[in-house]
């Protein structure tokens, strides 16, 4: 069989294995070992353990469990509810202010925990019932949280951007900086849509306007301020050159743990056990996927599939932007079925040579890829955030959540086009603070 035929067979078998319900890590490892056994040699199988362990020995991977510890610490507390309540007090008199408060709460919570499902769950538990109680339509209420939760993989610290940086050997610090402005702009675009969608409903069905004194507004802000301080500390230490991403992750995780103990009294063994248990579980899952993806990538390279597919894409001589559209369509399709971690680790070894051959900035592409993968989190059949919202708002049918998310999907697609027209949205800040380069 030719390399392209083997590649096609690998694609079919991999999809079949992953759709069978087998965990991603075991599925990728099984496919890698199976194809090496059939099409490779005994020598290729002898190096599998070394390949996996050498991938997991990367010091950069230390950031993953540390940032997950940060997110777990915040996730078990009432930090999400406090962020929402604080923003609601400031935006109560704005049309759609409650929805806007939820969207910005998602953005702020994302900047602390870096996890999309955790953001959707934490803000959704308190936000959806409050919005519906005050007359917000279920579609808008759930759609706003569902889409706002996706910001967790774009706004730093983002585990997805960390994995992309490791897979492409690009600077994690630059990627974090590149995600700041797009994250703020996308959050603001979501908020503007929520405001516009709410004006007509407010006029047709006016609700009593809640009023808060300045003292009440500041009281809510006081509980959130320490967690906002973590964001500032991460920015100062990482971008000021005082610490590496791994050291920053350790500092942020320690600060978050101390704050939830001090502010929310989560010092009991049962509560601390929940934090550490969730951290170990999620970290182990991601590490297993990384190790298995290394085997999968090694198999693809050993059988010369990666090189052949990359050469085939380059040889098509497509216009670079037509090629980019094809790549984004492929990623969009993959995102409907696979989680972001698997897509990055499986496809970037193939796409990176193609991107470099067509002179695309890998930092810019990382942000474009992340927004694309955000869409996958709210599109069926494997849209994780859809099911998270269904879990925290069981009174809302899944079809309503899906239709409520659709306008936000269109907004993200439009923002991707804007990012292609104005790449400086992503590249200006890292270039300004860290100089040009990769």
How is 289-348 classified by DSSP, letter by letter? HHHHHHHHHHHHHHTTHHHHHHHHHHHT---HHHHHHHHHHHHHHHHTTS-HHHHHHHHH
Contact 120, 385 (CB under 8 A): yes
Contact 73, 257 (CB under 8 A): yes
pLDDT tens, position by position, for the chain (438 residues)? 788 788 888 888 887 887 777 787 888 889 888 988 888 877 778 888 888 888 787 777 777 788 778 777 776 777 767 777 787 777 777 777 888 888 888 887 777 766 677 777 777 777 788 788 777 888 888 888 888 888 878 888 788 888 899 889 898 889 988 998 999 999 999 999 988 888 876 666 666 667 777 777 777 677 777 777 877 777 777 666 677 777 888 888 888 888 888 877 877 888 888 888 888 887 888 788 778 878 888 888 788 887 787 777 767 777 889 989 988 988 888 787 777 877 888 788 888 888 988 899 999 999 999 999 888 888 876 677 777 777 777 888 888 888 888 999 999 999 999 999 999 999 999 988 877 754
Output the CA angle 66-69-70, nearest 5 degrees.
90
Output the CA angle 199-202-205, nearest 5 degrees.
145
- Report d(CA 102, CA 80) in Å as an integer: 10
Nearest to 360 by CA among 423, 430, 431, 428: 423
Please report, in angstroms and rounded to a whole number, the separation of the first and last CA atoms in the chain: 38
90: Cβ contacts below 8 Å, ≥ 6 apart:
101, 212, 217
Place of tokens 């590649």: 7
State both tokens at 393.
């708002």
Task: Identify the pLDDT of residue 420.
Answer: 94
Predicted model pTM: 0.78
Place of tokens 């409650």: 98
> Domain locations in the chain?
3-434
- Report d(CA 418, CA 407) in Å as an integer: 17
Task: Identify the pLDDT of residue 68.
Answer: 79
């Amino acid at each position: 069989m030719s390399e392209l035929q083997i590649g096609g067979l690998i694609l079919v078998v991999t999809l079949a294995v992953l759709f069978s319900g087998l965990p991603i890590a075991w599925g990728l490892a099984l496919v890698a070992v199976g194809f090496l056994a059939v099409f490779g040699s005994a020598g290729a199988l002898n190096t599998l353990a070394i390949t996996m362990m050498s991938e997991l020995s990367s010091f950069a991977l230390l950031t993953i469990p540390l940032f997950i510890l940060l997110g777990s610490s915040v996730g078990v507390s009432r930090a999400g509810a406090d962020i929402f309540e604080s923003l609601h007090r400031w935006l109560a008199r704005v049309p759609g202010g409650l929805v806007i408060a939820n969207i910005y709460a998602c953005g702020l919570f994302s900047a602390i925990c870096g996890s999309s499902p955790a953001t959707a769950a934490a803000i959704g538990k308190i936000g959806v019932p409050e919005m519906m109680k005050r007359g917000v339509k279920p579609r808008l209420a759930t759609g706003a949280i569902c889409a706002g939760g996706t910001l967790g993989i774009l706004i730093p610290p983002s585990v997805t951007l960390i994995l992309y940086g490791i897979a492409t050997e690009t600077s994690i610090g630059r990627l974090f900086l590149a995600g700041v402005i797009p994250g703020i702009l996308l959050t603001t675009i979501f908020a503007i849509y929520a405001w516009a969608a709410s004006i007509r409903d407010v006029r047709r069905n006016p609700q009593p306007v809640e009023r808060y004194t300045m003292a009440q507004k500041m009281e809510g802000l006081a509980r959130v301020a320490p967690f906002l301080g973590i964001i500032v500390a991460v920015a100062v230490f990482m971008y000021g050159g005082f610490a590496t991403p791994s050291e920053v992750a350790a500092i942020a995780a320690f600060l978050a743990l101390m704050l939830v103990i001090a502010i929310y009294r989560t010092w009991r063994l049962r509560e601390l056990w929940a934090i550490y248990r969730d951290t170990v579980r999620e970290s182990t899952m991601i590490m297993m996927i990384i190790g298995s993806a290394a085997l999968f990538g090694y198999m693809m390279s050993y059988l010369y599939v990666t090189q052949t597919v990359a050469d085939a894409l380059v040889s098509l001589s497509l216009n670079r932007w037509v090629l980019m559209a094809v790549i984004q369509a492929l990623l969009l399709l993959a995102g409907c079925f696979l989680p972001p971690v698997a897509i990055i680790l499986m496809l970037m070894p193939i796409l990176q040579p193609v991107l470099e051959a067509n002179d695309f900035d890998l930092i810019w592409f990382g942000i474009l890829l992340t927004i694309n993968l955000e869409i996958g989190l709210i599109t069926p059949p494997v849209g994780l955030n859809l099911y998270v919202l269904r879990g925290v708002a069981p009174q809302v049918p899944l079809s309503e959540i899906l239709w409520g998310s659709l306008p936000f999907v269109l907004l993200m697609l439009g923002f991707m086009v804007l990012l292609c027209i104005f790449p400086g949205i992503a590249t200006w800040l890292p270039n300004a603070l860290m100089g040009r380069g990769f």
